[in-house]
Amino acid sequence: MSESESPRRRRSRSRRRRRARLRRILLTTLVVASLVLGLTGWVGFRGWQARAHLVNAAGLAGELSAHLVGGDTARAQRTLAALQEQAGAARRATGDPGWWLGRQAPVAGANLTAVRQIAIAIDDLARQAFPALLRVDLGGLIPQEGRLDLNGLRAVTDDLVAVHATVQRTRAELAEVSGDRLVGQVRRALTELRGEIDQLAAMTSAADRASRLLPPLLGVDGPRRYLLVSQNPAELRATGGMFGAYAVIEANNGRVKMGAQGSGSSIGRFAEPLKIPAEVRALWGELPGIYPADVNLSPHFPTAAALYREMYRRHSGETVDGVLAVDPVVLSYLLKATGPVRVPGGVALSAENAVKTLLSDTYQRMSPREQDGFFAGAAATVFDTLFARNVHPNGLLSAFNRSIQERRILFWSARPEEQRTFGDSRVAGTLPEQDTVPTVGVFLNDGSGAKLGYYLRQTADLTVGDCHADGRRELNLRVTLRSTAPASGLSESVLGLGRAGDPYTVRTLVSVYGPAGGAVLDTRVDGAETSVGNGTERRRQVATVNVEIGPGGTRTLEVSLLTGKTDSGAAELWLTPTATPWTTHVVTAPSCSQ
């Protein structure tokens, strides 16, 4: 080898080494790219499969719910089997190594993780919660022939406890899934599933509490006595309506019967006002402590119930163990399950005519004395029908659930340990001092001294607005009240005291309660600023406006509010239950951290 060739050979060897390195780099890149493309394609294919299975599962879950409510156990079992198959397939499609690797990706990972958790949640419910629900004999929660089977109730309790535990665990796991960096479709699916599970959790929590509380409440440890009061939405109060007719309910070892009955007006007024909370006195003066009809000017039901119990004690000398409040709309829901009943006077009450008969026709056709007798007779007849007739439990439980969701059934126990068990549940009617989600209350109190509430129609729109630097958030409320009252032809019982001047004008005191720890900023009626009564109750600012509406008229109330410190883009409304249900619309927004 000559010396002149040595440099050329060295350069040639160098070029070969560079080409070899380049080939290795290219080969490595090609392999990695192929793996990435293959993984992406595989995850995409599995994602398509998972989506199809989850969509099918959602439809089957709706069918299962309908079959459970309708009492069709055989079809419910078949639907559950199909639901379990689809939910399991979705879980498998999102659980292989390829999907796991995809979850480590910086961008797509959050979405793949969320889809995985959605699949796990639906599969857990399908395999652990829903089968137990199908095993539950709902008849164990309903008195048959005037008596609750306490042994059957104990059998129901174990299954309900297990179901509730599964639902709560699934709910907690979903709550840990971050909504940040999720694409719109996945975020919506996560939000909707959380909402559905929240509703399911509320139902299983209520059923769990009921199964544990019903035995002592119905006298397994000794006789109990309760006041059953009818709220009359024809004369509105914050919790639903003026306390009208009452009856004493006696419970002993699971057997229930109705005792003495009377009208709220028979209790009379109290020259020496009963003690009321200072915040309530600042808002309403001494009225709740003087008149039985005014105990529930505040929406906090425990205050009203305790006052009414004490008024009844002073009137009758008897002390009851609690207060149960219902309204005629509840009755209409129950009559859908029991079928029509014939009440004294030959009147047939049905789901279709109960509200109109009890809140309108009776006041038009009967004197006050006749009205009291009719209401007492109707209550006794429906009570006997409800507890004596064998009614399918699904229909009754559906009616009770709807009534509780609308806050038309309220209960307060005079025993603190039992009342604590109810907590802030809807049936307790407790105005909470803290919010999980910012909540705005719109509560109506009649200012006419009349029975014109039957003719009110009401809508409420709540919109979540901007985030503030201090952690608060804007809310905008719009309430529209419309009167369908005629301009003439109503009886004196309906027109009452006519405190608005024109007896056909509805005067309504609208109280807007801001979110806990928040604020009510400004209030307008029909676009113009208006005078407002201000106060505070249970850490909520309160603004009360007098709204007067003539026959066929409409008034609009607009209120700007601030929440307490929150990251939530959701909001909720709490409304006075009325003769005709509210029309509502809540417009949510992204969380402040997004």
* pLDDT (tens digit per residue) in 106-124: 767 777 787 888 888 888 8
Alpha carbon distance 583, 10 (integer Å): 88
> What is the structure's pLDDT at 432?
94
Rounded to 5 degrees, φ, ψ at 578 are -120, 170
pLDDT classification of 368: cutoffs 50, 70, 90: confident
| Nearest of 431, 480, 479 to residue 297 by alpha carbon | 431
Alpha carbon distance 516, 537 (integer Å): 10
The H-assigned helical ranges of 71-141 are 73-93, 97-103, 109-124, 130-135
Residue 15 lies in a domain: no
Alpha carbon distance 334, 401 (integer Å): 11
Question: Which amino acid is located at 101 in the chain?
Answer: L
Same domain (yes/no): 122, 200: yes
Residue 5 lies in a domain: no
> What percent of the chain clears pLDDT 70, i.e. is strictly above it?
85
CATH code for the domain in which residue 403 is found: 3.40.630
* 111: β partners: none
Lowest-pLDDT range, 278-282, 379-383, 389-393? 389-393
Residue 298 lies in a domain: yes
Last residue of a domain, one of 154, 184, 217: 217
Same domain (yes/no): 196, 344: no
pLDDT classification of 545: cutoffs 50, 70, 90: very high
Alpha carbon distance 563, 398 (integer Å): 34
What mean pLDDT is predicted for residues 79-103?
82
What mean pLDDT is predicted for residues 381-397?
73
Alpha carbon distance 326, 401 (integer Å): 13
Same domain (yes/no): 132, 51: yes
Alpha carbon distance 424, 408 (integer Å): 15
> What is the structure's pLDDT at 145?
66
Residue 539 lies in a domain: yes
Q: Exposure string (b/e) for 330-341, b if CB count within 10 Å is 16 or more? A: bbbbbbbbbeeb
Same domain (yes/no): 450, 530: yes
3-state secondary structure at position 250: strand
Cα distances (angstroms) measured from residue 561 to each of 196, 330, 467, 479, 527: 28, 32, 12, 14, 16
CB neighbour list of residue 14: distance below 8 Å, 6 or more residues apart:
none
CATH code for the domain in which residue 519 is found: 2.60.40
CB neighbour list of residue 442: distance below 8 Å, 6 or more residues apart:
460, 477, 479, 510, 511, 512, 513, 573, 574, 575, 576
> What is the structure's pLDDT at 137?
66
Same domain (yes/no): 108, 73: yes
23 pLDDT higher than 60: no
Residue 425 lies in a domain: no
Does residue 152 or residue 578 have the better pLDDT?
Answer: 578
Task: Give the domain extent around 483.
Answer: 434-587
Lowest-pLDDT range, 23-27, 418-422, 438-442, 449-453? 23-27
> What is the structure's pLDDT at 6?
61
Tens digit of pLDDT for each residue in 421-437?
888 888 999 999 999 89
What mean pLDDT is predicted for residues 491-509?
93
Residue 504 lies in a domain: yes
pLDDT classification of 389: cutoffs 50, 70, 90: low
Same domain (yes/no): 296, 185: no
Token readout for 323 is 């207060």
496 torsion bin: left (phi>0), alpha (psi -120 to 50), beta (else): left
Residue 492 lies in a domain: yes
Q: Are 307 and 320 in contact (CB under 8 A)?
A: no
Q: Exposure string (b/e) for 348-369, b if CB count within 10 Å is 16 or more? A: ebebeebbebbbbebbeebeee
Same domain (yes/no): 405, 464: no
What mean pLDDT is predicted for residues 309-317?
96
Same domain (yes/no): 495, 570: yes
Same domain (yes/no): 240, 361: yes
140 pLDDT higher than 90: no
Rg (CA), the chain: 31
Last residue of a domain, one of 420, 447, 462: 420
* 230: β partners: 326
Report CA 384 to chain centroid distance, whole Å: 29
Same domain (yes/no): 69, 92: yes
| Nearest of 200, 73, 83 to residue 135 by alpha carbon | 73
> What is the structure's pLDDT at 495?
93
76 pLDDT higher than 80: yes
Tens digit of pLDDT for each residue in 559-573?
999 999 998 899 999
Does residue 31 or residue 149 have the better pLDDT?
Answer: 149
Tell me the pTM.
0.80
Last residue of a domain, one of 198, 217, 236: 217
What mean pLDDT is predicted for residues 288-308?
97
Same domain (yes/no): 269, 328: yes
Rounded to 5 degrees, φ, ψ at 470 are -85, 10
> What is the structure's pLDDT at 30?
40
20 pLDDT higher than 70: no
Report CA 387 to chain centroid distance, whole Å: 26
> Averaging pLDDT over each range in 1-5, 360-364, 379-383, 558-562, which range is the top one?
558-562
Residue 412 lies in a domain: yes
Averaged confidence pLDDT in the chain: 84
What mean pLDDT is predicted for residues 240-253?
91
Same domain (yes/no): 567, 440: yes
Please state the domain count of the chain.
Answer: 3
Question: Which amino acid is located at 390 in the chain?
Answer: N
Alpha carbon distance 328, 477 (integer Å): 28
